[in-house]
Structure 1
């Protein structure tokens, strides 16, 4: 069990699971610059820790995240504030790190998840919501366009038509999110973490990588990626152990 000494993000490792908790409950875990830095550090730590098998992202108390902390932008700078540059230096950096992590990542949506808070959840491999969770991609409400990877992940998860509908910004329930395929299940995140702790490496990472590649590569290119992935997986300790267990079971 270990912990990083952060203020806006809590970090804990126990039984192979790194739990990263956004910790600004007084603003429903809105994301400011300090949280950006600490989230990046926590995910980087979990990615590089051999004792970590699964990474779980959640929020403190009854909120996942209310998105970007607009109040952290000085009012006197709004007219000249470059939202694009801020995005490049903060969310884009975090989302690219999430995409590169070869371990299963889960967003445990334990309450409100709106705006960039929902975007970050979309960048995780799996999403589990509590029954009373409320979700929205609420960028239009402040005159901005979806960001933090939402334009990439959301259409791939729910399809273009549904992604455009969700992006209009209306709040929706966990049940609706489940029907649309945006989340994988409601409640009981422990059953999923237990299952994901058993996935073989590097086979898991190659599965994620190759399936995503299928959206923008040709069949021929994806088939070659499968060759590379199977070669790597075939040389892994996980494969050797699984084969030995299978042979022993057949005896």
Structure 2
């Protein structure tokens, strides 16, 4: 039954990506977040790298092998990894793609090592980590020293996933969740923190209003691409997981629909 379920899930993913590619030729919402411009930038999000270790959700694990194959495809195909600092000038980059990790699982260290080994003059590895700041140093989470090394390498940009992974549509402790998390990451890395991933993908008008006090970008869990006309506080993304074959991955990173 498990095999059949996995096959069914994969089939649904294939259908979903096919529809996504078709319908992103047009705005997904009239006059708002997506424009008719065929230029598209994918924000690829990961949670854990490696084999399932008995914690979290099985489907959110991408094996070391598959992650490396995906990154090698980007490198061989001339894609340019960028960070949120680059979004304002995104057309200056050839085939831009934003690689992001959500939460700060210890396995992201494997991704850092893989990207580190891929660095060459013609390929500048870049990625973003949205860290749950209050979990830094906890079991199965990245430590301050690791975050500092990853940031100092120039490969990883450290951004916020709030302090406690709080639902921003419920909490009223915005100074702690948004402000303190930003301050802590700045203290660790000495670098600018300008983006947040909404915990559980949840946000509302009030949450966005508060986020604007601290950040320039907000990442949702809505599926889709982004461009210069996308609302910076309602950025769409594409989740990479255990069901993402290399063929599906190639559909994810296709930057222009021509």
Give TM-score scaled by structure 1 length: 0.31
Of structures 1 and 2, the one scoring higher in RCO (CA 8 A, sep 6+) is 2
Asked which structure has the greater CA Rg, the reply is: 1
